[in-house]
A and B are shown apart, each in its own frame.
Chain A
Amino acid sequence: MSLLANTSTLLGKELRTEFRSRELLTTTIVFILIVLVLFSFAFNPTSDESRQFASGLLWLALLFASSLMLQPCFLREQNNDTLSALRLSVSDPFAIFLAKLAANTLFLLLAELLLLPLFAVMYNVPVVPVLHWLLLVFFLASLGISIAGTALSAISAQARMRELLLPLLLLPLLTPILVVSAEVTRSLLDREPFVRWKGIGFIGVFDVVFLTALWLFGEYLLEE
Chain B
Amino acid sequence: MTPPAFSPVGLRLENIDKRYGRLLALRGVSLTIAAGECVVFAGRNGSGKTTLLRVVSQLVRPSRGRVTFSGATGDEQTTAVRPGFVAHATMVYDELTAEENLLLFARLQEIAQPEKRVETLLHDVGLSERRGSLVRTFSRGMRQRAAIARALLHEPAVLLLDEPATGLDPQGVTWLAEAIRRLRDSGRTILMSLHGESEISQLGTRAIRLDAGSIAADTRTGATFRSILTFADA
Contacts and interface: CB of A to CB of B under 8 A. Distances in A.
B108 A80 contact: no
A9 B108 contact: yes
The 3 closest A-B pairs by CB, nearest first: A81-B89, A85-B91, A89-B108
- Tell me if B's interface is mostly helix, strand, loop or mixed: loop
- Tell me if A's interface is mostly helix, strand, loop or mixed: helix
A212 to B, nearest CB: 24
A154 to B, nearest CB: 15
B104 A9 contact: yes
Interface in A114-132: none
A80 B140 CA distance: 12
5 contacts: A16-B96, A21-B95, A79-B94, A85-B150, A88-B57
Nearest to B90: A80
Given A84-B85, A84-B87, A10 B96 contact: no
B59 A6 contact: no
A88 B205 CA distance: 27
Given A84-B85, A84-B87, A223-B61, A2 B95 contact: no
A13 B109 contact: no
B107 A9 contact: yes
Interface string B107-151: 111100000000000000000000000000000000000000010
A7 B42 CA distance: 39
Interface in A160-209: none
B104 A88 contact: no
Nearest to A90: B108
B100 interface: yes
B60 A88 contact: no
A86 B108 contact: yes
B91 A84 contact: yes
B93 interface: yes
Nearest to A223: B61
Interface in B69-116: 82, 85, 87-96, 100, 104-105, 107-110
B87 A89 contact: no
Nearest to A84: B59
